[in-house]
Amino acid sequence: MERQPAKTETDPAYRLLGIVRGLFSELRGKTGQEDRVSLDSLLDRDLGFDSLARVELLSRIQRSFGVDLPEEILNRAETPRDLLEALRRAARGPAQQELAASLATLESAQGEAAGADTLLEVLDWHVRRQPERVQIIARTESGDQPISGRSLAQASEEIAAGLQNRGLEPGQSVAIMLPTCPEYFYVYLGILLAGGIPVPIYPPARLTQVEEHVRRHVGILSNAGTVLLVTVPEARAVSRLLQAHVLSLHSVVSVQELRSSGASFIRVPVTARDVAFIQYTSGSTGDPKGVALTHANLLANVRAMGQAVGVGPDDVFVSWLPLYHDMGLIGAWLGTLYFGIPLVVMSPLAFLVRPVRWLRAIHEYRGTLSAAPNFAYELCVKKIGEEELSGLDLSSWRLAFNGAEAVLPETLTRFRRRFAPFGFRTEALTPVYGLAENSVGLAFPPPGRGPVIDCVQRETFSRTGRAVRALSEEASPLCFVSCGRPLPGHELRILDASGHELAERQEGRIEFRGPSSTRGYFNNPQATSQLFHGGWLDSGDRGYIAGGEVFLTGRAKDIIIRGGRNIYPQELEEIVGEIPGVRKGCVVAFGSPDPASGTERLVVIAETRRSDPAELERLRGEIHAAIFEALGEPADELVIVPPGTVLKTSSGKLRRAANRDLFEAGLADGRKRTGRRQMARLAAGALVPQLQRWTARAGEVLFSAWAWSVFYMVMPAVWLATAMTQRPSTAWSVGRAGALLLIRLTGTPFSVSGLEQLPKGSPCVLVANHASYIDGIVLLAALPEHFVFVAKRELGEGFLARLYLQHLGAHFVERFTATESVQDAGRLEEVLRAGHGLVFFPEGTFTRVAGLQPFRMGAFLVAANTGTPVVPVAISGTRFVLRDGQWRPRRGAIRVSVGDPLVPAADARDAFAAAVALRDAARAHILRHCGESDLQPFEISENGR
């Protein structure tokens, strides 16, 4: 973290920072964040100091230091450091020397973003300190593309602006259907910057499985309430099918369209409690389970994994893992982003086509960390030829993580033997355990120890679940690999079917808890209730503990119970996959209920490229023999199918439940359903939701046309009548009549409550939230008496608006230049003393992003200085009717709620303190009744951002 000034009362930097923190505390209502205010905090964005707050700050600094600072510093200073420099220039003699010495001691830190509470603060932290440091090296077909922290931040803000321009609101979800590419990183962070929730999904792999792909993703996108989908032009056909089936999905866009929008990015507050990622697990199409992970969850997991493996500044992570999967997104990218180490990333397809590319990247970039599922290590052993290994050096690879699926002891042995001549060390092999419900990582072994394999008696374990060590001469033992101990701050336990915790070496269900754990499944309360058991989360995995380390035995739902005996499918799949002619990694075993026997049938589906009937019959016999030799009994059903039949997840894991459903539906015989026929069925199924969407849009267009017709009939007449009036009160009556007529003719439901709260016979300061172009019209319709609008100076630049507002008696004020803001405030105080009420929009402006923004101090200082009560007014519904940047009105209800008058506190320390109290009370009423979220930042990160 940044080294702060020495904490002594005589140190000038500390004194200045104390003044800034004191004002921040008053404005924020003592949030407990004062210590995070630093000399590099931005006065506007980080601290929320508007022009009048800056005036107050300057006044306090001058009183404390006994110097006069130039007025232009009010507008020029961006940080407390700038104010300290201005003090140094204004001071004389020893005081100037003391300030110069104080400035010279301030240093910036390097390393991990230890004080960050969100992923966006992590990015900000690194951009401020080392903006040109390369964070990502993307290996593409056109060459290696380095991405610095600064370019990552800039591109992400362009994406965020494009998303906001498309109507994205905070809390809405956006699907990312992109391959691994530089744009993926920009889109993910851009969604977070815009206040959205990223939902990674994978592009379709095969046309012959497009129907299953679309139906699964329709369930995911509908569950997430996805409003936008970002994809590549090549996937537009599938994207349109998804859009046709998902009613909430209103837009499909490309990265280029978002980056070229030309819109301005509007920063929204993001906190540690906000969801930063929804990872959908491999459930059924009808009941998708989306693991909701917050910024706090992800950072807790990244920090714990970093501590467990000892991440250092010299580490380099090399990855081909898909970014739509937690192991690639969190484990590889977000971890390297947090610790400030480079990530060398390539496409999964590049690895699958030529596995040696992964190892070559480790060689070329001296990679120290890398991770992959078990099948990837197996693929390297089987598919890399000797001629491809010339000159390969893997000696830099200190940790080779193996996770995301069952870790097979045979694979570890084969990989070690194959690549030891090329510098690979056995102790680099690091089997790990994790799951999406705990962000990604849960258990890691000590770094550099190498794998520990436990071989147990097969029959005893299958019948009783006790992991009794096998004797060295025992034939065919069951062997399991240790995944180490729980990460720091995390716990796991093993339970039996009754929920009792088991002793060591007794297999049962694994439960866990810790700061990385999800709060539940997104929009799925039933699945969430099944996940939690008294504060612990059910992993769905089975295993046992030995020597304090966890050994996984399989997924609870995948274990086949046959005749009172547990059969572990991954063992059979490995055995069958070794038979010549069977496609390795394309074998699935599962149990299917047999009502006649009351137990489960053992079903095995295996892919092969062979088609000759005699060859297939011979292969069938070899598979049956291998299964019988391993289990002592045959499989009940053996189905041999062509390539592409066995269903897998996006990360390459077998979808045993989906394959079971396919088998029980009679569709696992390998008969191909053409992609064209599947597309036709999907298109036909989309007709009904598409007609519903078209009907709704037609109604919206008709209403919009009618609303504009009414507007152009009514408002020109109102403008002319107003221009002819001599008295502002008369102009107000004309405007009110026109506003009510406009509301009535458009059929807009309109209600006003609390008018009796308006003071009778004395002026007040009325403050209202600002959400739409039509808020002024709404207040005209709602308020029976004349008020003086306080409008931003920019509105006076157009002839039509200026003439109309002038006849209403409006006053134009400067929002940004501090000295002019003070002068405008003085004129407004005279208006109140003359007996005229004022209407302020204290947010200053409105945006298309929904939510109540921070309030400026002007209205409340004017009220405090004159002793005038403040009346809060909440407007609800106008942003929906006509949003910023949108010129097609929508039908919606509008409500106006007038609150109790708020009188300036007579016992306040000064007028500024009284104004802060008025502001907070008024904002609280408006927030309760406006129907929108709070965009006031509650927290700032360490060092200000």
Residue 853 pLDDT level (bands cut at 50, 70, 90) = confident
Of 213-222, 390-399, 746-755, the least confident: 213-222
Q: Tell me whether residue 921 is exposed, middle or buried, using C-beta atoms within 10 angstroms of its C-beta: 0 to 12, 13 to 18, 19 or more.
A: middle
Sign of CA dihedral 237, 242, 244, 248: negative
Chain mean pLDDT for the chain: 84
What is the per-residue pLDDT across 337-353, written as a single tens digit (0 to 9) for each? 999 999 999 998 899 88
Which pLDDT value is given to residue 941? 46
Residue 588 and residue 569 in contact, taking contact as beta carbons nearer than 8 Å: yes
- pLDDT above 70 as % of the chain: 87
Residue 943 and residue 41 in contact, taking contact as beta carbons nearer than 8 Å: yes
Which pLDDT value is given to residue 284? 44
Whether 636 shows a pLDDT value over 50: the answer reads: yes
Residue 216 and residue 235 in contact, taking contact as beta carbons nearer than 8 Å: no
Tell me yes or no: is domain 559-685 CATH 3.40.50.1580. Answer: no
Helix 236-245 vs helix 675-685: angle between axes, to the nearest 10 degrees? Answer: 30
Whether 940 shows a pLDDT value over 60: the answer reads: no
Which pLDDT value is given to residue 106? 43
Asked whether this chain's domains 119-353 and 703-929 adopt the same fold, the reply is no
Rounded to 5 degrees, φ, ψ at 4 are: -85, 165
Residue 943 pLDDT level (bands cut at 50, 70, 90) = very low
Residue 20 pLDDT level (bands cut at 50, 70, 90) = confident
SS3 per-residue string spanning 4-20: CCCCCCCCHHHHHHHHH
Pairing of strands 765-768, 560-562: unpaired
Of 108-122, 130-144, 312-326, 530-544, the least confident: 108-122
User: What is 703-929's CATH number?
Assistant: 3.40.1130.10
Pairing of strands 290-294, 275-280: antiparallel
| Mean pLDDT across 288-311 | 93
CB-facing half-sphere around the CA of 791: CA atoms within 13 A: 23
Of 20-24, 158-162, 628-632, the least confident: 628-632
* Distance from C-alpha of 770 to C-alpha of 268, rounded to nearest angstrom: 16
* Distance from C-alpha of 415 to C-alpha of 397, rounded to nearest angstrom: 14
Of 57-71, 311-325, 883-897, the least confident: 57-71
DSSP for 855-917, please give it. PPSHHHHHHHHHT--EEEEEEESHHHHS-TT--S-----EEEEE---BPPPTT-SSHHHHHHH
Residue 266 pLDDT level (bands cut at 50, 70, 90) = confident
Which pLDDT value is given to residue 158? 95
Which pLDDT value is given to residue 656? 76
Whether 1 shows a pLDDT value over 50: the answer reads: no
What is the per-residue pLDDT across 72-127, written as a single tens digit (0 to 9) for each? 777 778 888 888 888 777 766 565 555 555 545 443 334 567 778 899 999 988 88
What is the per-residue pLDDT across 577-612, written as a single tens digit (0 to 9) for each? 888 888 888 888 887 776 555 556 788 888 888 888
Which pLDDT value is given to residue 107? 39
Torsional class of 287: left (φ above 0), alpha (ψ -120 to 50), beta (otherwise): beta
Residue 94 and residue 114 in contact, taking contact as beta carbons nearer than 8 Å: no
* Distance from C-alpha of 365 to C-alpha of 888, rounded to nearest angstrom: 53
Whether 312 shows a pLDDT value over 80: the answer reads: yes
Residue 152 and residue 135 in contact, taking contact as beta carbons nearer than 8 Å: yes
Residue 360 pLDDT level (bands cut at 50, 70, 90) = very high
* Distance from C-alpha of 695 to C-alpha of 688, rounded to nearest angstrom: 11
The CATH architecture that domain 12-104 belongs to is Orthogonal Bundle (1.10)
- pLDDT above 90 as % of the chain: 40
* Distance from C-alpha of 228 to C-alpha of 230, rounded to nearest angstrom: 7
Give the residue, 152 or 683, on which the prediction is more confident.
152
Q: Tell me whether residue 697 is exposed, middle or buried, using C-beta atoms within 10 angstroms of its C-beta: 0 to 12, 13 to 18, 19 or more.
A: exposed
CB-facing half-sphere around the CA of 921: CA atoms within 13 A: 18
In CATH, which of 3.40.50.12780, 3.40.50.150, 1.10.599.10, 3.30.70.20 is domain 119-353? Answer: 3.40.50.12780
What is the per-residue pLDDT across 702-715, written as a single tens digit (0 to 9) for each? 988 999 999 989 98
What is the per-residue pLDDT across 757-767, written as a single tens digit (0 to 9) for each? 899 888 999 99
Amino acid at 826: G
What is the per-residue pLDDT across 640-692, written as a single tens digit (0 to 9) for each? 888 878 887 655 667 777 777 777 666 655 555 555 666 666 666 667 676 77
- Domains of the chain, residue spans: 12-104, 119-353, 559-685, 703-929
Which pLDDT value is given to residue 913? 87
Which pLDDT value is given to residue 2? 44
- Residue 473, classed as helix, strand or coil, is coil
CA dihedral 917, 920, 925, 926 (to 10 degrees): 130
Which pLDDT value is given to residue 501? 92
Which pLDDT value is given to residue 561? 66
Whether 419 shows a pLDDT value over 80: the answer reads: yes
Nearest one of 21, 26, 25 to 917, comparing CA atoms: 26
Whether 204 shows a pLDDT value over 60: the answer reads: yes
Return the ∠ at Cα 207 (arms to 203 and 212), rounded to 5°: 70
Amino acid at 815: R
Q: What are the C-alpha distances in Å from 13 to residues 20, 31, 90, 96, 303?
A: 11, 22, 15, 12, 32
